[in-house]
Amino acid sequence: RLKQERWSDAVDLCTLALGVDAKCVKALYRRGCAHLEQKEYAKARTDLAVAAQVEPNNKAVKSKLVEAERTEMTDAKKAKGANDYDRFAKIELSDDEDGGLAALPPPPPAVAQEEARPPPPAAPAPAPTPPPPAAQPKPASAPTEPSG
């Protein structure tokens, strides 16, 4: 039924097969694919995740699970009207002689930026240096007689 794009019939038949064997990877995979085509992303992810748990090495199941997640995100963005070019929607273009620079807001003054910054921490006061040792008076020596 998948090749015929009869998604509802495919879901019904796979559900019957899963009633007989709840871990039939083929039925889980096909029902997940049918849910994906019907844009029932939560159901598709559930079926494909269970199939991936039953057969962790099944590349087709893993790939379809990733596809389901990506498709869901893409459709959610489309529904919100978001696209990659939204960031350009806020830019105003102008045919002014100055190249459209007049439409741009002026940059904030540098002074305002510096005022907003907290002052740097104060440097610790240097430790007082000890005074040099006091000059000790030399003991007076006894006068010596010249030898002669």
Q: CA-CA-CA-CA torsion for 77, 79, 83, 86, nearest 10 degrees?
A: -120
Only one residue has tokens 């029902």, namely: 31
* Average pLDDT score over residue span 96-102: 55
Residues 6+ apart with CB under 8 A from 68: 32, 36, 41, 44, 45, 48
Check residue 107 and give its pLDDT. 66
> pLDDT per residue over 35-70, tens digit each?
888 888 889 999 999 999 999 999 999 999 999 888
